[in-house]
């Protein structure tokens, strides 16, 4: 196994800048997910690490060895693709053994490694089948088996679950996580799916337009997004954004919403942090899960603000229910318990958990 260090990585195709200066340090044994919208440069970055794409500028080190000009086969990496890339005429066992045979491993060693990987992946009974006799999920497991039998320094995953149906994707996600706990191979995983990123990653790298927006653990990214892009990208439904201005009220601060709606007092704990922005045009960010039903008793709690809303659309999800409504001219989403949700057109009091709010500079997109 090995760490990966990336310095000032650029990729330009003709005149298109696909990757514009990326620096990442990935520790030995770490599971890092590159996530971002389609076209943000994730696959290009991964392919440069694999050696499948030439580097325009910058350096990639695997285990302190500069690999810019090392052939893919000599980088000691394995790759799992969205299209499983299995040989259709070979059995699962032969597909998993193929790379080891090519590298001249002894038969017994190959057998031991394939049996062990098949055990990890729950495919021991399927080893004599060809890809055409396997389901999509089983084929992807064989493709992962083929990667791990090599015991590579680094395993690269390029959207490996995108071809599977939603239920299987969730199951495979858990299996990949369990597998990583067992084998601890340094892993770099590309996806556009923020839930996959949050659930799988030890650290997430959020990319946007060829650049890194933020690197952090799933908790850091969710609780302390550094930019509006990250705040809006992670979390489903997405964070609500409302244009606002900060005003002074007594010794404290209050948020006045530009599109109309109630004034929202800023919790005392946050006044010091936000007072430099008094009078400036800002964006208030608050997640749907931080606007919820009022407690049965006990009245207002510190840091919570009660607002009366008129429900527009109700979306039951089973475990909780999403309510859509307007505050001034902005559509807002709240996540409430299903047993308290009322119907469209009804008025309902909700609590906004202002301790969890974010204020964003609309010019720079920075979370303040």
* Residues binding ligand ADP (CB under 6 A): 13, 16, 18, 36, 38-44
Cα 207 to Cα 9: distance, rounded to the nearest angstrom = 13
Smallest gap, in angstroms, from Cβ of residue 40 to ligand ADP?
4
Smallest gap, in angstroms, from Cβ of residue 46 to ligand ADP?
8
Smallest gap, in angstroms, from Cβ of residue 26 to ligand ADP?
18
Smallest gap, in angstroms, from Cβ of residue 160 to ligand ADP?
13
Smallest gap, in angstroms, from Cβ of residue 13 to ligand ADP?
3
Nearer to ligand ADP, 158 or 293 (CB): 158
Nearer to ligand ADP, 14 or 251 (CB): 14
Nearer to ligand ADP, 19 or 244 (CB): 19
Nearer to ligand ADP, 80 or 305 (CB): 80
Q: Could you say which DSSP state residue 1 is in?
A: -
Contact between residue 36 and residue 208 where contact means Cβ atoms under 8 Å apart: yes
Nearer to ligand ADP, 39 or 265 (CB): 39
Smallest gap, in angstroms, from Cβ of residue 34 to ligand ADP?
8
DSSP secondary structure string for all residues of 121-137: HT-GGGTTS-GGGS-HH
Smallest gap, in angstroms, from Cβ of residue 318 to ligand ADP?
32
Nearer to ligand ADP, 43 or 91 (CB): 43
Cα 293 to Cα 258: distance, rounded to the nearest angstrom = 25
Smallest gap, in angstroms, from Cβ of residue 247 to ligand ADP?
41
Residues 78, 84, 90, 93: is their CA dihedral positive or negative?
positive
Q: Which of these, 26, 27, 35, lies nearest to 6 by C-alpha position?
A: 26
Nearer to ligand ADP, 13 or 87 (CB): 13
Find all residues with CB under 8 Å of 357, minimum gap 6, and list them. 270, 284, 285, 286, 290
Nearer to ligand ADP, 163 or 256 (CB): 163
Nearer to ligand ADP, 96 or 205 (CB): 205
Catalogue the E-assigned strands of the chain. 4-13, 16-26, 31-35, 57-62, 65-66, 77-80, 154-158, 186-191, 203-208, 211-216, 240-249, 252-257, 264-265, 281-286, 291-293, 304-316, 321-327, 330-336, 347-353, 358-360
Count Cα atoms within 13 angstroms, Cβ side, for 151.
9
Cα 175 to Cα 178: distance, rounded to the nearest angstrom = 5
Contact between residue 234 and residue 222 where contact means Cβ atoms under 8 Å apart: yes
Cα 215 to Cα 257: distance, rounded to the nearest angstrom = 31
Cα 310 to Cα 287: distance, rounded to the nearest angstrom = 18
Contact between residue 77 and residue 187 where contact means Cβ atoms under 8 Å apart: no
Smallest gap, in angstroms, from Cβ of residue 41 to ligand ADP?
4
Q: What phi-psi label fits residue 226: left (phi over 0), alpha (psi between -120 and 50 degrees) or beta?
A: alpha
Smallest gap, in angstroms, from Cβ of residue 323 to ligand ADP?
33
Nearer to ligand ADP, 22 or 114 (CB): 22
């Amino acid at each position: 196994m090995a760490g990966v260090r990336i310095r000032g990585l650029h990729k330009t195709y003709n005149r298109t800048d696909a990757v514009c200066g990326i620096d990442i340090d990935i520790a030995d044994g770490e599971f890092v997910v590159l996530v971002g919208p389609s076209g943000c440069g994730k696959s290009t970055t991964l392919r440069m690490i694999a050696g499948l794409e030439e580097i325009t500028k910058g350096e990639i080190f695997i285990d302190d060895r500069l690999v810019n000009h090392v052939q893919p086969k000599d980088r000691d990496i394995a790759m799992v693709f969205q299209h499983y890339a299995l040989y259709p005429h070979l059995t699962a066992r032969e597909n998993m053994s193929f790379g080891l045979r090519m590298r001249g491993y002894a038969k017994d060693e190959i057998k031991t490694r394939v049996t062990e990987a098949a055990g990890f992946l729950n495919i021991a009974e399927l080893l004599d089948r060809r890809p055409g006799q396997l389901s999509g999920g089983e084929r992807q497991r064989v493709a992962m088996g083929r990667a791990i039998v090599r015991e590579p320094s680094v395993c690269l995953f390029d959207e490996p679950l995108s071809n599977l149906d939603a239920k299987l994707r969730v199951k495979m996600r858990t299996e990949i996580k369990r597998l990583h706990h067992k084998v601890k191979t340094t892993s770099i995983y590309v996806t556009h799916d923020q839930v996959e990123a949050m659930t799988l990653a030890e650290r997430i790298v959020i990319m946007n337009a060829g650049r890194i927006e933020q690197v952090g653990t799933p908790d850091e990214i969710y609780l302390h997004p550094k930019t509006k892009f990250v705040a809006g990208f992670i979390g489903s439904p997405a964070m609500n954004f409302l244009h606002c201005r900060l005003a002074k009220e007594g010794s404290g601060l209050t948020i006045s919403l530009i599109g109309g709606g109630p004034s929202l007092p800023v919790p005392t704990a946050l006044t010091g942090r936000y007072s430099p922005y008094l009078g400036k045009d800002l964006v208030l960010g608050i997640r749907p899960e931080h606007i919820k039903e009022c407690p049965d008793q006990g009245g207002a709690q510190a840091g919570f603000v009660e607002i009366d809303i008129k429900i527009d659309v109700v979306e039951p999800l089973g475990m909780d229910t999403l309510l859509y409504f307007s505050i001034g001219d902005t559509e807002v989403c709240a996540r409430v318990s299903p047993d308290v949700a009322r119907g469209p057109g009804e008025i309902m009091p909700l609590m906004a958990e202002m301790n969890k709010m974010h204020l964003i500079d609309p010019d720079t997109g920075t979370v303040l």
